[in-house]
């Protein structure tokens, strides 16, 4: 079952409350998203560590396959 964009944003905002978050539904099917997150919690972390934080926040959705495909871009907000 696909995940609604607003639900995805709610999850990310609860885990990264001060982040700048952009979510784009790439195929208009609630199944393929491009997610860009810029947050201070990423400061001094490698890209891999940043992505691990986001994947941990979305663990349930990724494991249940609600979130089928995700293009992820993260940036520290210094």
Instruction: Give the count of domains, the chain.
Output: 1
Question: Hey, which residues does 25 pair with through a beta bridge?
Answer: 33
pTM: 0.92
As a whole number, mean pLDDT of residues 22-32 equals 94
CATH of the domain at 51: 3.30.300.90
Q: How confident is the model at residue 65 (pLDDT cuts 50, 70, 90)?
A: confident
Quick one: tokens of 69? 């495909």
Task: Give 12-26 pLDDT, tens digit per residue.
Answer: 999 999 999 999 999
Domain that holds residue 43: 5-76
Quick one: tokens of 78? 């210094």
Question: Which residue matches tokens 């663990």?
Answer: 59
């Amino acid at each position: 079952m696909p995940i609604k964009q607003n639900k995805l944003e709610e999850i990310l905002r609860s885990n990264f409350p001060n982040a700048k978050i952009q979510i784009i539904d790439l195929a208009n099917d609630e199944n393929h998203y491009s997610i860009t997150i810029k947050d201070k919690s990423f400061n001094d972390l490698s890209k891999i560590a940043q992505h691990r934080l986001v994947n941990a926040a979305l663990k349930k959705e990724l494991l249940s396959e609600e979130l089928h495909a995700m293009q992820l871009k993260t940036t520290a907000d210094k």
